[in-house]
Amino acid sequence: MNCTKCKTKAVIDLPRHNAAFCKICFNGYIHDQVAKAVKSDRMFGKDDRILVAVSGGKDSLALWDILLKMGYKADALYVNLGIGSYSEESHRKVVTFAETVAAVHGAKLHVHTVQEEAGAGIKELAQIIHRPACSTCGTIKRYQFNRVALEGEYDVMATGHNLDDEAARLLGNVLHWQDEYLDKQSPNLPASVEGFARKVKPLYRLAERELAAYSVLNRIDYIVEECPMAKGARTILYKEVLNRLETESPGTKQTFYWKFLERQKQAAPAAASMAEKDQAMLHPCSVCRQPTTAEICSYCKMMARAKTHAS
Ligand code: Q46
Ligand code: ZN
Question: Could you read off the pLDDT of 100-147 as tens digits, one per residue?
Answer: 999 999 999 999 999 999 999 999 999 999 999 999 999 999 999 999
- CB of 44 closer than 8 Å to CB of 156: yes
Distance (angstroms) between ligand 1 centre and the Cα of 246 equals: 26
Distance (angstroms) between ligand 2 centre and the Cα of 150 equals: 14
**What value does the mean pLDDT take over residues 85-97?**
98
Pairing of strands 199-200, 188-189: antiparallel
- CB of 207 closer than 8 Å to CB of 252: no
Residue 269 has a pLDDT of: 58
Among 124, 134, 145, name the best residue to mutate to test ligand 1's pocket (greatest count of ligand atoms within 8 A of Cβ).
134
Helix (H, G, I), strand (E, B) or coil at 309: helix
Task: State whether the beta carbon of 122 lies less than 6 angstroms from ligand 1.
Answer: yes
Which-ligand-closest: CA of 53?
1
Residue 310 has a pLDDT of: 75
Distance (angstroms) between ligand 1 centre and the Cα of 135 equals: 8
Instruction: Please state whether the predicted TM-score (pTM) of the whole model is above 0.85.
Output: yes
Mean pLDDT of the chain: 93
137 Cα nearest atom in ligand 1 = 4
- CB of 158 closer than 8 Å to CB of 145: no
Listing DSSP states for 10-59 in one string gives: -SEEEGGGTEEE-HHHHHHHHHHHHHHHHHHTT---TTSEEEEEE-SSHH
The residue nearest atom 8 of ligand 1, judged by CA position, is 227
Task: State whether the beta carbon of 138 lies less than 6 angstroms from ligand 1.
Answer: yes
The residue nearest atom 7 of ligand 1, judged by CA position, is 230
Among 86, 137, 143, name the best residue to mutate to test ligand 1's pocket (greatest count of ligand atoms within 8 A of Cβ).
137
For residue range 165-190, what is the model confidence (pLDDT) as tens digits?
Answer: 999 999 999 999 998 888 888 899 88
Strand spans (E) along 66-114: 73-80, 109-113
Lowest-pLDDT choice from 7-11, 20-24, 26-30, 270-274: 270-274
**What value does the mean pLDDT take over residues 258-271?**
80
